[in-house]
């Protein structure tokens, strides 16, 4: 599909430049503003090219809209006959409904991931339109109209594609004029050509290309105008292809054509080819007149319309445009293109080319009326849109709220929030191991120049904040917050060095100074092996000492062994274990740090990861602790066994009462099969009602000869009839 899309795009470019000449220079600014307006007011649900403009640089939100649009647009064919107003509704609804869904999937993307998403969305829409075009082939006019639209759109993303289009268009025009009857077919063919030619884009004339970059923006503007010019086309297209989405266009266009469209639509839909042909036929004469003033009026009117539609606020500018528009000379290429456009736009009035003025006046009258209507519609539409937007926002908020309120006390859920910050001096092996383990848990990691040797710290990606009053998490813009834990990695040798030189105090104080208010974790790597080595050393010395005395008589042998030992001795000194143990206790008691021992770098990595995982759950676990702190027991999941069905739940519920065992519970359940019957029975029978109830021998209700007994009967009675919640006599 992708290549086709491109083709369409490539073929389409000619139009935008064409429209330009017709437009006054000022118009561009007007339209510019108008466009802005479009952006604001007219949004998602319009399937018209202008929307695409919006898309380009719009918020992420639009991407979702696009997705929606896709769906809508593909479906349209069956609905063409529907009245514009009515048809108008469905799209709104659909968009609304779609939006939240999408949001639910990835609310975060919505806010942040704009860049990657939008391009895709665009492509989609384009490709979609291409499919639409393909589907709508019978309506040639539509297609042509559509093509430009897309082109304009596409022009932004695919800067290079436009050049080809003018050529194809030029070809098309003549053909059409020659055989108006067959137009639909031929055009269709040409489209096919266009597709074929699409690969050509590289050919574009150099001048064009030079234009391109500068004009891109303007091209976009022109597109808007083009829409309005080509309203017939657009509308036709809309009607046929995308009836629901189409509605907005007439409103926007405001022009005479609105009425026509509705009529035309009816024509067109059943008779696919006739309507377009007419318009086409009209266009050729215009072409010849392209530079004549008669052509202008229509253009002008359109402009004004566009002004109206795009923004009632800028009528002056629109007028200005009108006056200015004519004198403007344009580059030949553009002119030719503009001609084509104008011819198209003029279609309705083509029969009365001689009486141009009357046509113009009439057109103006109609315009005025239409403008009023359009304004009204626009207002309504805006209201609806606002409403819809509010709804969508609401849903989006709800979705985001649901997302941030997901249970995150499970470390698997909360771990990806973490970022581990490693000291830049960390050993390569450990770094690699940590990286692998963390990547497996999708935890980000970076490095920093820690002021203390081998100090790790954590950061958290925060996207919600707990609202105490509402008792729930509220989404907030994502940010990265520092965590309250820091970890210092010391090897046994380093630690022993500190302990022996009595530098533990100063080292910890130094660390604390760099991490004020942090919980410190010290990982001591290899203390156990070190202890073993140290002990061995002592034992070797001892054995040597014993033997040395024995061998006082045989000095040669002793000298050999002692020589060897002396080498070792110079290298290592036995260090009293109590020095190390005292240093560790000092760390624990005086400095209040957590100490963890590991044996090897791999284990160190595993533990750092384990700490990362558990640190990620801290805020959520603490919160839950706080929320359930009013209960007198631990509410952690798994503390109370749950039942499988109502009866099982009932049995387990009874067993929550002190000294009620499973046999007692089953015995009671076979006597009173529901809670309410039990309560009734206890109310009527008094505290000893259950005394003689038989305990159950198995789950099926077989009874043993033992009974529940007085104490338990009384206790159950108190639980089920007690009115004092703080009573401890249960």
List the x/- string, 620-659, binding to other proteins by CB under 8 A: -xx-xx-xx-xxxxxxxxxxxxxxx-x--xx-xx--xxx-
Counting residues that bind other proteins (by CB under 8 A) gives 92
Q: What is the dihedral of CA 711, 717, 718, 720, to 10 degrees?
A: 140
Q: Which residue's CB is nearer to other proteins, number 142 or number 518?
A: 518
Q: Is 406 left (phi over 0), alpha (psi -120 to 50) or beta?
A: beta
User: Which residues fall within 8 angstroms of residue 50, CB to CB, at 6 or more apart?
Assistant: 35, 38, 42, 223, 224, 227, 252
In the complex, what is the shortest distance from the CB of residue 412 to other proteins, in angstroms, rounded to a whole number? 11
DSSP state of 442: T
Question: Which burial class, exposed, middle or buried, applies to 452 when counting CB atoms under 10 A from its CB (0-12, 13-18, 19+)?
Answer: middle
Of the candidate residues 503, 557, 600, 702, the single one contacting other proteins (CB under 8 A): 557
Full DSSP string of 640-663: SPPPSSHHHHHHHHHHTSTT--HH
Name residue 419's beta-bridge partners: 444, 459
Give dist(CA 255, CA 679) in Å, integer: 77
In the complex, what is the shortest distance from the CB of residue 36 to other proteins, in angstroms, rounded to a whole number? 39
Residue 546 found at the interface with other proteins (CB under 8 A):
yes
For residue 279, which of 142, 416, 431 has the smallest C-alpha distance? 142
- Burial pattern 651-682, b for ≥16 Cβ within 10 A else e, equals bbbbbebeebeebbbbbbbebbeeeeebeebb
Q: Which residue's CB is nearer to other proteins, number 82 or number 499?
A: 499
Give dist(CA 521, CA 595) in Å, integer: 6
In the complex, what is the shortest distance from the CB of residue 645 to other proteins, in angstroms, rounded to a whole number? 8
Q: Which residue's CB is nearer to other proteins, number 357 or number 677?
A: 677
Helix (H) or strand (E) holding 523: strand 519-525
Of residues 442 through 461, those in contact with other proteins by CB under 8 A are none
Of the candidate residues 40, 543, 599, 702, the single one contacting other proteins (CB under 8 A): 543
Q: Which residue's CB is nearer to other proteins, number 146 or number 598?
A: 598
In the complex, what is the shortest distance from the CB of residue 665 to other proteins, in angstroms, rounded to a whole number? 11
Helix, strand and coil content of the chain, in percent to the nearest 5, comes to 65, 10, 25
In the complex, what is the shortest distance from the CB of residue 321 to other proteins, in angstroms, rounded to a whole number? 54
Of residues 692 through 721, those in contact with other proteins by CB under 8 A are 718-721
Of residues 127 through 146, those in contact with other proteins by CB under 8 A are none
Residue 181 found at the interface with other proteins (CB under 8 A):
no
Of residues 387 through 416, those in contact with other proteins by CB under 8 A are 401, 405, 407, 411
Q: Which residue's CB is nearer to other proteins, number 59 or number 618?
A: 618
Of the candidate residues 202, 429, 529, 722, the single one contacting other proteins (CB under 8 A): 722
Residue 196 found at the interface with other proteins (CB under 8 A):
no
* C-alpha count within 13 angstroms, C-beta hemisphere, residue 574: 12
List the x/- string, 576-615, binding to other proteins by CB under 8 A: --x--xx--xx-xxx-x-xxxx--------xx--xx-xxx
Q: Which residue's CB is nearer to other proteins, number 354 or number 554?
A: 554
Q: Which residue's CB is nearer to other proteins, number 357 or number 406?
A: 406
Of residues 668 through 687, those in contact with other proteins by CB under 8 A are 674-677, 679
* Positive or negative torsion for Cα 596, 597, 601, 604: negative
Of the candidate residues 174, 425, 545, 685, the single one contacting other proteins (CB under 8 A): 545
Residue 529 found at the interface with other proteins (CB under 8 A):
no
Give dist(CA 698, CA 703) in Å, integer: 7
In the complex, what is the shortest distance from the CB of residue 95 to other proteins, in angstroms, rounded to a whole number? 27
């Amino acid at each position: 599909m992708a290549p086709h899309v491109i083709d369409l795009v490539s073929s389409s470019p000619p139009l935008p430049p064409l429209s330009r000449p017709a437009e006054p220079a000022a118009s561009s600014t007007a339209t510019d503003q108008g466009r802005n307006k479009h952006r604001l007011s007219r949004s998602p649900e319009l399937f018209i090219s202008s929307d695409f403009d919006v898309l380009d640089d719009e918020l992420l939100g639009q991407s979702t809209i696009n997705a929606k649009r896709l769906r809508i647009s593909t479906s349209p064919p069956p609905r063409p006959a529907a009245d514009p107003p009515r048809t108008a509704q469905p799209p709104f609804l659909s968009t609304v409904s779609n939006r939240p869904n999408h949001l639910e999937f990835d609310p975060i993307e919505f806010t942040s991931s704009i860049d990657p998403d939008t391009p895709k969305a665009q492509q989609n829409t384009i490709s979609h339109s291409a499919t639409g075009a393909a589907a709508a082939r019978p309506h040639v006019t539509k297609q042509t109209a559509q093509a430009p639209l897309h082109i304009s759109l596409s022009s932004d993303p695919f800067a290079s594609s436009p050049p080809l289009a003018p050529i194809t268009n030029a070809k098309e025009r003549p053909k059409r004029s020659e055989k108006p009857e067959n137009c639909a077919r031929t055009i269709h063919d040409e489209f096919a050509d266009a597709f074929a030619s699409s690969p050509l884009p590289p050919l574009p004339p150099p001048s064009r290309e030079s234009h391109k970059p500068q004009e891109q923006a303007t091209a976009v503007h022109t597109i808007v105008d083009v829409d309005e010019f080509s309203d017939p086309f657009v509308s036709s297209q809309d009607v046929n292809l995308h009836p629901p989405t189409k509605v907005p266009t007439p409103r926007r266009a405001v022009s005479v054509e609105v009425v026509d469209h509705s009529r035309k639509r009816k024509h067109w839909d059943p008779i696919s080819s006739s309507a377009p042909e007419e318009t086409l036929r009209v266009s050729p004469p215009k072409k010849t007149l392209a530079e004549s003033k008669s052509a202008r009026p229509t253009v002008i009117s359109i402009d004004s319309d566009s002004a109206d539609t795009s923004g009632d606020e800028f009528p002056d500018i629109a007028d200005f445009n009108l006056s200015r528009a004519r004198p403007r000379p344009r580059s030949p290429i553009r002119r030719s293109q503009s001609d084509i456009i104008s011819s198209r736009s003029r279609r309705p009035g083509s029969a009365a080319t001689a009486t141009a003025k009357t046509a113009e006046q009439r057109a103006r009258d109609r315009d005025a009326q239409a403008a009023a209507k359009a304004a009204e519609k626009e207002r309504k539409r805006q209201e609806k849109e606002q409403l819809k937007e509010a709804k969508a926002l609401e849903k989006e908020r709800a979705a985001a709220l649901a997302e941030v309120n997901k249970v995150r006390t499970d470390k698997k859920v909360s771990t990806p929030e973490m970022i581990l910050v490693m000291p830049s001096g960390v050993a390569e092996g450990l770094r690699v191991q940590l990286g692998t383990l963390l990547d497996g848990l999708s935890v980000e990691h970076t490095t920093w120049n820690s002021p203390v040797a081998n100090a790790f710290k954590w950061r958290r990606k925060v996207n919600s904040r707990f609202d105490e009053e509402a008792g729930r998490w509220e989404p907030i813009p994502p940010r990265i917050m520092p965590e309250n834990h820091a970890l210092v990695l010391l090897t046994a040798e380093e630690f022993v060095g500190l302990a022996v030189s009595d530098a533990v105090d100063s080292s910890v104080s130094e660390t604390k100074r760099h991490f004020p208010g942090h919980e410190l974790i010290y990982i001591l790597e290899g203390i156990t092996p070190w202890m073993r080595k140290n002990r061995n050393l002592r034992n070797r010395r001892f054995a040597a000492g014993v033997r040395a005395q024995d061998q006082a008589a045989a000095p040669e042998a002793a000298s050999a062994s002692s020589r060897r030992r002396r080498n070792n001795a110079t290298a290592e000194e036995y260090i009293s274990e109590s020095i190390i143990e005292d240093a560790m206790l000092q760390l624990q008691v005086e400095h209040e740090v957590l100490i963890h021992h590991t044996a090897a770098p791999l284990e160190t990595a595993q533990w750092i990861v384990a700490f990362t995982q558990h640190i990620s759950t801290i805020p959520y676990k603490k919160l839950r602790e706080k929320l359930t702190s009013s209960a007198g027991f631990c509410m952690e999941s798994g503390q109370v066994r749950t039942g499988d069905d109502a009866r099982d739940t009932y049995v387990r519920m009874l067993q929550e009462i002190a000294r009620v065992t499973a046999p007692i519970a089953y015995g009671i359940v076979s006597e009173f099969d529901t809670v309410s019957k039990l309560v009734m029975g206890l109310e009527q029978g008094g505290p000893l009602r259950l005394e003689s109830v038989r305990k159950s021998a198995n789950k099926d209700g077989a009874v043993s000869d033992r009974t529940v007994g007085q104490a338990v009967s009384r206790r159950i009675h108190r639980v089920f009839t007690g009115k004092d919640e703080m009573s401890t006599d249960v």
